[in-house]
């Protein structure tokens, strides 16, 4: 009860302080935001929630759990032209659009890594099509493309992930991202992805403890997933993939060694999350491709 009252007070405070920064419905978006929304949301938004629109992705945020629920992004090879992750591109930033925003120091000493939902490597490219790319040393070179990278490093694109057993080199999350970057995008040229974390019990979840002791309220998902959709440019047919990772803390607790073994039907992720991916697909096609892992289509990228 006390918790509920505190929460209510907090909510009222937040609403009063930040009236302009609620997540938005489509009709509230500016023309520029709609352009990015239309790019990143493919075949329908996975739920009817309000969202935040960034240059490189669109996401839903859970203000109570202080983590993104899901992030959707479109990627083409040019976006892999990401600046070196140094200096201004290195730091994790606070998201100015979020009340009570998470800051990078919230994670310090917690034992959890700051894991990107939308990976750093897709934040590049000449997205404003002005022929200029952002520059590590020159802030005036292309502020727009700079902003795209900064947004990807904001804490609203971050959730706590175990470095050793998930997010770092050798972890399945890292392994999948590497295949997407080095194999899928160069070969397929264009993908749409949706990434998310799952907090199975919203009434009882672990949270990030700053320096092992101070609670931050940041929820630690017990599962993470990545959903991919590809459209064949000739036949116009679609292919989907879904990967579901348990959030374990030690590598030996991982159930599988091979990234492909984490594949599940898209339907399975929908069952766990309550989301409906790509609902604007033709129903017959959607049923067919979301009920199977489609491993045969994807396994070539994991050789």
Partner DNA sequence: CGGTGGCTGGGG
Partner DNA sequence: CCCCAGCCACCG
Asked if 301 touches DNA (CB under 7 A), the answer is no
CB of 39 to DNA, least distance (A): 21
Asked if 197 touches DNA (CB under 7 A), the answer is no
Q: Determine which residue in the list 21, 63, 88, 279 makes contact with DNA, applying CB under 7 A.
A: 88
* C-beta closer to DNA: residue 61 or 121: 121
Q: Determine which residue in the list 93, 116, 192, 238 makes contact with DNA, applying CB under 7 A.
A: 116
CB of 217 to DNA, least distance (A): 17
Stretch that binds DNA, among 29-37, 66-74, 108-116, 195-203 (CB under 7 A): 108-116
Q: Determine which residue in the list 21, 94, 181, 210 makes contact with DNA, applying CB under 7 A.
A: 181
Stretch that binds DNA, among 37-45, 54-62, 116-124, 265-273 (CB under 7 A): 116-124
Binding footprint of DNA, residue count (CB under 7 A): 29
Stretch that binds DNA, among 8-16, 105-113, 192-200, 288-296 (CB under 7 A): 105-113
Binding mask 160-179 for DNA (x = CB under 7 A): ---xx--xxxx---xx-xx-
Q: Would you list the DSSP string of the chain?
A: -HHHHHHHHHHHHHHHH-TT-S-B-GGGS-HHHHHHHHHH--SS-SSS--BEE-SS-EEEEETTTTEEEEEEEEE-GGGG-PPPS-GGGTS-B--TTSTT---GGGGTTSS-EEEESS-GGGS-S-TT-SS----SS-TTS-HHHHHHHHHHTBGGGEEEE-IIIIISTTSHHHHHHHHIIIIIHHHH--EEEEEEEE-S-TTS--EEEETTTEEEEEE--SEEEEEEEEE-TTT--EEEEEEEEE--SSGGG-S-SSGGGGB--HHHHHHHH---TTTTS-HHHHHHHHSS--HHHHGGGG-
Asked if 187 touches DNA (CB under 7 A), the answer is no
What distances in angstroms separate CA 215 from CA 109, 153, 209, one per listed residue? Answer: 12, 23, 5
Q: What is the rounded distance in angstroms from the CA atom of residue 105 to the CA atom of residue 216? A: 10
Binding mask 25-54 for DNA (x = CB under 7 A): ------------------------------
Q: Determine which residue in the list 54, 93, 114, 247 makes contact with DNA, applying CB under 7 A.
A: 114
CB of 287 to DNA, least distance (A): 34
* C-beta closer to DNA: residue 277 or 301: 301
Asked if 277 touches DNA (CB under 7 A), the answer is no
Asked if 78 touches DNA (CB under 7 A), the answer is no
Asked if 109 touches DNA (CB under 7 A), the answer is yes
Q: What is the rounded distance in angstroms from the CA atom of residue 192 to the CA atom of residue 41? A: 8
Sequence-separated (6 or more) residues with CB below 8 Å from residue 239 = 229, 230, 231, 232, 289, 294, 297, 298
Q: Determine which residue in the list 42, 57, 107, 262 makes contact with DNA, applying CB under 7 A.
A: 107
Rg over alpha carbons for the chain, rounded to the nearest Å, is: 19
Asked if 66 touches DNA (CB under 7 A), the answer is no
Contacting residues toward DNA, per CB under 7 A: 85-88, 91, 107-109, 112-116, 119-121, 163-164, 167-170, 174-175, 177-178, 181-182, 251
């Amino acid at each position: 009860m006390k918790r509920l009252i505190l929460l209510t007070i907090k909510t009222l405070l937040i609403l009063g302080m930040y009236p302009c920064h609620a997540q938005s419905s489509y009709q509230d978006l500016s023309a520029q935001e709609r352009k990015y929304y239309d790019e990143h949301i493919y075949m329908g938004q996975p739920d009817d929630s309000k969202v935040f629109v960034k240059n490189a992705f669109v996401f839903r945020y859970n203000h109570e759990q202080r983590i993104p629920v899901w992030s959707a992004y479109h990627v083409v090879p040019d976006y892999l032209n990401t600046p070196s992750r140094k200096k201004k591109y290195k730091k994790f930033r606070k998201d100015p659009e979020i009340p009570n925003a998470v800051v990078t120091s919230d994670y310090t000493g917690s034992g959890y890594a700051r894991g990107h939902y939308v990976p750093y490597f897709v934040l590049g490219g000449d997205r404003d099509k002005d022929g200029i790319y952002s520059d590590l040393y020159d802030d005036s070179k292309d502020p727009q493309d700079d902003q795209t990278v900064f947004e990807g490093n904001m804490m609203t694109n971050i959730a706590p992930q175990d470095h050793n057993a998930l997010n770092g080199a050798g972890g399945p999350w890292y392994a999948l991202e590497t295949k997407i970057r080095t194999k899928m995008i160069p070969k397929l040229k264009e993908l749409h992805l949706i990434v998310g974390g799952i907090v199975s019990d919203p009434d009882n979840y672990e949270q990030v403890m700053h320096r092992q002791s101070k609670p931050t309220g940041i929820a630690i998902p017990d599962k993470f997933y990545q959903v991919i959709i590809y459209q064949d440019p000739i036949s116009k047919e679609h292919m989907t993939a879904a990967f579901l990772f348990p959030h374990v803390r030690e590598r030996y607790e991982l159930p599988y060694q091979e990234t492909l073994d984490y594949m599940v039907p898209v339907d399975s992720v929908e069952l766990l999350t309550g989301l409906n991916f790509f609902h604007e697909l033709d129903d017959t096609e959607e049923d067919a491709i979301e009920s199977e892992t489609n491993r045969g289509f994807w396994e070539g990228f994991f050789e």
